[in-house]
Structure 1
Amino acid sequence: MLTRPFRTMSAALACTVMTVPALSVPALAQDYPDYQRESLYVPVRDGTRLAMNVYRPADGDGVETDKLPTIFVFTPYRARYTDEEGKVHETALEDGLALRSLLRAGYIVAVADIRGKGASFGSRRGFQDRTEAQDGHDLVEWLARQPWSSGKVGMVGCSYLGGTTMHTASTAPRALKAIFTGATDWDKYEFVRRGGITAQFNTRPDEPLSDDLASVPVDADSNGALLREAVAMHAENTSMAGLWYGMPYRDSISALTGNAFWQEAAIWQYAQTIKQAGIATYLWSNWKDEPTSHILVAAENLDSKLLVGPGSHCQTPKDYDFTGQITRYFDHYLKGEDNGFTDEPRVTYWHDDGADGGTYIETDTVPGSASDTLTYYLGQQGGNLLAPRPVNSGSAGFAVDYDIADDAYFPFWPPSLDDHGVTFDSAPASAALDLLGYPVANIAISVDRPDADVFVYLEDVGSDGAVEVVSFGRLKVSHRKTSAAPWDTMGLPWHSGREADVMPLGAGETAMLSIAMMPLAHRVLPGHRLRFLVTGADPRQRNLADLVQNPPPKIAVHYGWETGSRLDLPLARPSDMKGRDE
């Protein structure tokens, strides 16, 4: 416990002590019900002023005067802003990432706007570039130098905020001791243009400047003049979607940044720096979220602690003490508490039971790194089917259907597209199948033109006909060449995406595509069927209207002994199915 002498209001933080609304949090987190906030501009190495908001724990006696560790969040989504109803939103006072609970538990919480966003000055050269990474470095070191700081800093974030934790860590600030990172990418090219095809992540329109103008000005900017000056600079930001659409290959040179920007923004390039700096890493994602495919690979390559929950993008895992886990993690690495954290299994993941329930599994093995394989072959026998062995030879063809768009602004998971391609169904399962890891589709494809986009999906079809999409993948036919990856892929096929490796189809050519699909931890119940689906378009392609071809491509999926078209499913091993209470 902290020793807490009589406290007075710090002259450096001439703000009002405020009370945080009551939360259901662990007992330790109730020590500091109040906080004291200061907001100010902090210059980084090139002189650009970034908006920083600092929240210090307090109670009825005033602000804590002991030196405390700091939790830092670096955001493009405005640390403090006023909505259309006049309500002020503050990232530090939300608890999706346990920030309010950490503040209560005796941590200083600091939230800064990245350059070119929110109330910060400057313009963004490129999405998560090295300038932004160095900005994070400078702010971490600034926080560690403050008189109220213990000198130890941790970072937490999910999605873009998870990326800022990783990129800041990649610069190895001396004060940064631990990061808790959710739903971010290991390789920016593979994340945005997986298989050579862009989808929803990082391709949405940029926010209008009016959003940033709704930021709350820093304390010294009483009339908002500095805020308006800062936001005017944001007009020079590089277009996020324009940056990605302008680089079709992994080794493309961006016309907007003048370099091979995929490499600059790839966190795997800096993995050794993070490890050698001794920064503790805890990675988190949820199964119904595309970044999970990267989080598992990153955990394997960084030897990281790992949590995979149910649910979608950055949702707090249900039936799990998420706040308590984050607090214990930072208590160990920032406060030095011997709380048994490092004695626990390295990995915790949710395995759904196929019937709206499930359990958390604890293991030291990253899902996907060691599974058995169950193979289904594509075939035809009274209908397209998935069979335990090839049954005949033939093909199933379709014309690409582009009439699949929906109005979802950010569709994290695809809907069933059974009516928009070709499907192959298994017989009903006679016993439960526990799938754990990455399915891999190996399919022979021909197209009536040199190239096409191919999407594959794995569905669980209940005895009542209800359909659940449990995995999916994508690959441009011309990007089918597999290569040796510069990291441990856990045995998955890897496509370089380099321009020299692109192979358009020749007339009449049939090509084999190997597609690593999204990882899963899913039980197929007895009586349920597996369905494998192939399409040529997906509603998550934001630029779908620009991709429409008339007439549409005609794609054929070939099967039989000669082609070897098959679906390799990862079967969980009994040793990986031990529940938390077993």
Structure 2
Amino acid sequence: AEPIETGVLEYYTLGENRWKLTRVWPLPQTRMQRMYLSADHGLRPDPPVDQTGSDIYHVDPNTGTGQNNRWHTQVGGAPVYHPDRREADERLLVYDSPPLQTDMEITGHPVIHLNVRSTAPDGQFFAYLEAVLPDGTVKLVTEGQLRAIHRKISDDTPPYTMFGPYHSCKRADAMPLLPGEVAQIAFDLFPISVLFKAGWRIRVAIAGADKDVFAPIPGCEAPEITVERNASYQSFIDLPTILG
């Protein structure tokens, strides 16, 4: 997205533990770093070259983000708290980068692009951006979600400023999944500012349910999803990294 004048915007960079000010968003020094879902559950900057490559995930309808997530706490006023996610991630489809060689600041709206097949005509797609620390601790950084039938990217002018793909969610734009056929699903994650430290890994975790927040779609509770990650059908996340 093109930077826009915002007035004074104050934001906090996790990991650096510092408040900052800007009048432009996204930050002018933003560079989108593309990281591809790769073989062996890797997350790498180089696009795949193999013509085949995919991962099958059987959606676990009992996965969730707990009672202290952003959805529950925004009404009650309690602080958002996510404990170590390593156990929860054992039930998700995850992709990890190699350990970072240098610190990396991510500030802005990550955007994920998935090429998927499903055994169901609809489904819920959740993407979690996480930090894997050297001791194995997994920290949830931010998240995004989209219902599959709303995946059409609209050319209409959105009713508010968007920093990722715009989905109208109108009935006329609904696109059921065709079982076995590849569908492109792209959506942005909630904005974040975090300093990933050298030695940490960047993780993308994919789920098909969040039982603590979203009701299941009748008849589509536990489909089999195939995530394509090859030269013909790439899946990746664009990370808003900050230069300098």
Normalised to the residue count of structure 1, the TM-score between the two structures is 0.36
Partner AA of 1:503 in structure 2: M
Indicate the residue corresponding to 1:565 in structure 2: 235
Q: 1:394 aligns with which of 39, 48, 53?
A: 53
Q: Provide the C-alpha distance between the structure 2 equivalents of 1:414 and 1:440, rounded to a whole number of angstroms.
A: 23
Q: Provide the C-alpha distance between the structure 2 equivalents of 1:414 and 1:511, rounded to a whole number of angstroms.
A: 34
How much does 1:408 deviate? 2.3
Q: 2:12 aligns with which of 331, 350, 371?
A: 350
Q: What CA deviation, in whole Å up to 9, does each residue of 1:264-304 have, x standing for no partner?
A: xxxxxxxxxxxxxxxxxxxxxxxxxxxxxxxxxxxx5xx65
The answer on 1:384 being equivalent to 2:41 is yes
Change (3 A) 1:483 1:550: closer
Q: Provide the C-alpha distance between the structure 1 equivalents of 2:102 and 2:243, rounded to a whole number of angstroms.
A: 15
The answer on 1:479 being equivalent to 2:136 is no
Indicate the residue corresponding to 1:68 in structure 2: none
Q: Provide the C-alpha distance between the structure 1 equivalents of 2:25 and 2:159, rounded to a whole number of angstroms.
A: 15
How much does 1:533 deviate? 0.8
Change (3 A) 1:422 1:436: same
Q: Provide the C-alpha distance between the structure 1 equivalents of 2:236 and 2:6, rounded to a whole number of angstroms.
A: 33
Q: Provide the C-alpha distance between the structure 1 equivalents of 2:45 and 2:73, rounded to a whole number of angstroms.
A: 34
CA contact (8 A) 2:115 2:228 kept: yes
Aligned residue for 2:24, secondary structure, equals: coil
Indicate the residue corresponding to 2:77 in structure 1: none
The answer on 1:516 being equivalent to 2:188 is yes
How much does 1:406 deviate? 7.4
Q: What CA deviation, in whole Å up to 9, does each residue of 1:516-549 have, x standing for no partner?
A: 01111101100000111111001442535xx465
More strand by share: 2
Indicate the residue corresponding to 1:360 in structure 2: 19
Q: Provide the C-alpha distance between the structure 2 equivalents of 1:481 and 1:523, rounded to a whole number of angstroms.
A: 33
Change (3 A) 1:372 1:487: farther
CA contact (8 A) 1:368 1:519 kept: no
Q: Which has the higher contact order (CA 8 A, sep 6+)?
A: 2
Q: Provide the C-alpha distance between the structure 2 equivalents of 1:550 and 1:439, rounded to a whole number of angstroms.
A: 27
CA contact (8 A) 1:414 1:469 kept: no
How much does 1:465 deviate? 0.8
Aligned residue for 1:436, secondary structure, equals: strand
Indicate the residue corresponding to 1:463 in structure 2: 134
Aligned residue for 1:375, secondary structure, equals: strand
Aligned residue for 1:504, secondary structure, equals: coil
Indicate the residue corresponding to 2:33 in structure 1: 374
Larger radius of gyration: 1
CA contact (8 A) 1:372 1:573 kept: yes
How much does 1:491 deviate? 4.5
Q: Provide the C-alpha distance between the structure 1 equivalents of 2:220 and 2:17, rounded to a whole number of angstroms.
A: 46
Q: 2:96 aligns with which of 403, 407, 425?
A: 425
How much does 1:488 deviate? 5.9
Change (3 A) 1:551 1:535: closer
Partner AA of 1:560 in structure 2: N
Change (3 A) 1:550 1:372: closer
CA contact (8 A) 1:411 1:540 kept: no
More helix by share: 1
How much does 1:515 deviate? 1.1
Q: What CA deviation, in whole Å up to 9, does each residue of 1:373-393 have, x standing for no partner?
A: 11111110xx21111112333
The answer on 1:435 being equivalent to 2:106 is yes
Partner AA of 2:190 in structure 1: M
CA contact (8 A) 2:61 2:221 kept: no
Aligned residue for 1:364, secondary structure, equals: strand
Partner AA of 1:476 in structure 2: R
Q: Provide the C-alpha distance between the structure 2 equivalents of 1:527 and 1:548, rounded to a whole number of angstroms.
A: 43
Change (3 A) 1:414 1:548: farther
Count, aligned residues: 226
Aligned residue for 2:149, secondary structure, equals: helix
Q: What CA deviation, in whole Å up to 9, does each residue of 1:390-437 have, x standing for no partner?
A: 233311111111223577272565843312221111000000001110
CA contact (8 A) 1:414 1:539 kept: no
CA contact (8 A) 2:6 2:25 kept: no
The answer on 1:528 being equivalent to 2:187 is no
Aligned residue for 2:172, secondary structure, equals: helix
Mapping 1:175-254, distance limit 5 Å: none
Indicate the residue corresponding to 1:268 in structure 2: none
CA contact (8 A) 2:142 2:192 kept: yes
How much does 1:362 deviate? 2.2
Q: What CA deviation, in whole Å up to 9, does each residue of 1:128-151 have, x standing for no partner?
A: xxxxxxxxxxxxxxxxxxxxxxxx
Q: Provide the C-alpha distance between the structure 2 equivalents of 1:548 and 1:420, rounded to a whole number of angstroms.
A: 21
Q: 1:450 aligns with which of 121, 126, 132?
A: 121
Partner AA of 2:46 in structure 1: R
Q: What CA deviation, in whole Å up to 9, does each residue of 1:227-259 have, x standing for no partner?
A: xxxxxxxxxxxxxxxxxxxxxxxxxxxxxxxxx
Change (3 A) 1:387 1:406: closer
Change (3 A) 1:542 1:474: closer
Change (3 A) 1:570 1:422: same
Aligned residue for 1:365, secondary structure, equals: strand
Aligned residue for 2:90, secondary structure, equals: helix
Indicate the residue corresponding to 1:192 in structure 2: none
